[in-house]
Structure 1
Amino acid sequence: MMNKKIDLNPSNMKYKVTKKDLRRACWRWNWFCVNMFNYETQEGPGVAISLAPLLRKIYPNDDEYEKALTNHFRYFNTTPIMGNLLLGAVVAMEEKDGLKAAETIQSFKTSMMGPLAGIGDTIFWVLWPTIMGSLSGYMALQGNPLGAIVWLIVNILLYILKYWFYDVGYTSGTKLIDNLGTKLNIFTEAASIMGLTVIGSLVATVVKVSTSLTFQMGKVNLALQTGVLDKIMPALLPALLTFIVYKLLENKKWTATRVIFLVILLALIGTYFGVFKA
Structure 2
Amino acid sequence: MDHRSLTTEERAVLRRMFLRSHLVFQGFNMVKMEANGFTMTMQPAIESLYKDDPEGRKEAYLRHQSFFNTHAVPFSFIAGVSYAMERDLKEKKAVDGATIASIKAALMGPTAGMFDSLFFNALRIIAAGIAIGLAAQGNVLGPILFVLLYGVSQSVVKYYFTNWGYTLGTSMIDTVFKSGLMAALTKAAAVLGLTMMGAMTAKMVNVPLQWTIQIGGASLVVQDVINSIMPGLLSVLLVFGLVALIRRGVRPTWLVVIILATGVLGALVGIFGTAA
- Runs of 5+ in structure 1 lacking a partner? 1-16, 38-42, 49-71, 90-106, 140-144
Partner residue, 1:164: 164
Q: Which amino acid is 2:175 matched to?
A: L
CA–CA separation in structure 1 for the residues paired with 2:81 and 2:202: 32
Partner residue, 1:256: 252
Contact 1:123 1:191 (8 Å CA) reproduced: yes
Partner residue, 2:99: 119
Q: Which amino acid is 1:27 matched to?
A: R
* Structure of larger gyration radius: 1
Deviations 1:103-155 (A, max 9, x none): xxxx971523xx1533321122x344466669999x9xxxxx749x7xx9999
CA–CA separation in structure 2 for the residues paired with 1:155 and 1:198: 27
CA–CA separation in structure 2 for the residues paired with 1:264 and 1:111: 44
Aligned equivalent of 1:26, options 8, 11, 14:
14
Partner residue, 1:239: 236
Q: Identify if the C-alpha distance between structure 1 residues 127 and 256 changes in structure 2 by more than 3 Å, giving closer, same or farther.
A: farther
Contact 1:82 1:117 (8 Å CA) reproduced: no
Q: Identify if the C-alpha distance between structure 1 residues 219 and 243 changes in structure 2 by more than 3 Å, giving closer, same or farther.
A: same
Deviations 1:179-234 (A, max 9, x none): 26x322211211221222222233223322132222222212211112x1111111
Aligned equivalent of 1:186, options 170, 184, 187:
184
Contact 2:85 2:100 (8 Å CA) reproduced: no
Deviation of 1:243 (Å): 1.4
Deviation of 1:271 (Å): 0.8
> What TM-score, normalized by structure 2, do the two folds share?
0.55
CA RMSD of aligned residues (A): 4.5
Q: Identify if the C-alpha distance between structure 1 residues 87 and 269 changes in structure 2 by more than 3 Å, giving closer, same or farther.
A: closer
Q: Which amino acid is 1:258 matched to?
A: W
Q: Which amino acid is 2:185 matched to?
A: F
Is the counterpart of residue 266 in structure 1 residue 262 in structure 2? yes
Partner residue, 2:91: 109
What's the secondary structure of 2:223's corresponding residue?
A: helix
What's the secondary structure of 1:111's corresponding residue?
A: coil
- Runs of 5+ in structure 2 lacking a partner? 21-39, 65-78, 125-150
Structural mapping, 1:54-93, within 5 Å: 73-74=52-53, 76-77=56-57, 81-82=80-81, 84-85=83-84
CA–CA separation in structure 1 for the residues paired with 2:232 and 2:261: 21
Contact 2:17 2:162 (8 Å CA) reproduced: no
Q: Which amino acid is 2:200 matched to?
A: L
CA–CA separation in structure 1 for the residues paired with 2:108 and 2:188: 17
Q: Which amino acid is 1:119 matched to?
A: T
Partner residue, 2:197: 199
Percent identity, aligned pairs only?
Answer: 19
Q: Which amino acid is 2:91 matched to?
A: K
Q: Which amino acid is 2:100 matched to?
A: G
| Count of aligned pairs between the two proteins | 202
CA–CA separation in structure 1 for the residues paired with 2:229 and 2:175: 49
Aligned equivalent of 2:216, options 203, 215, 218:
218
Partner residue, 1:11: none
Structure with bigger RCO (C-alpha 8 Å, 6+ apart): 2
Q: Which amino acid is 1:46 matched to?
A: S
CA–CA separation in structure 1 for the residues paired with 2:226 and 2:203: 16
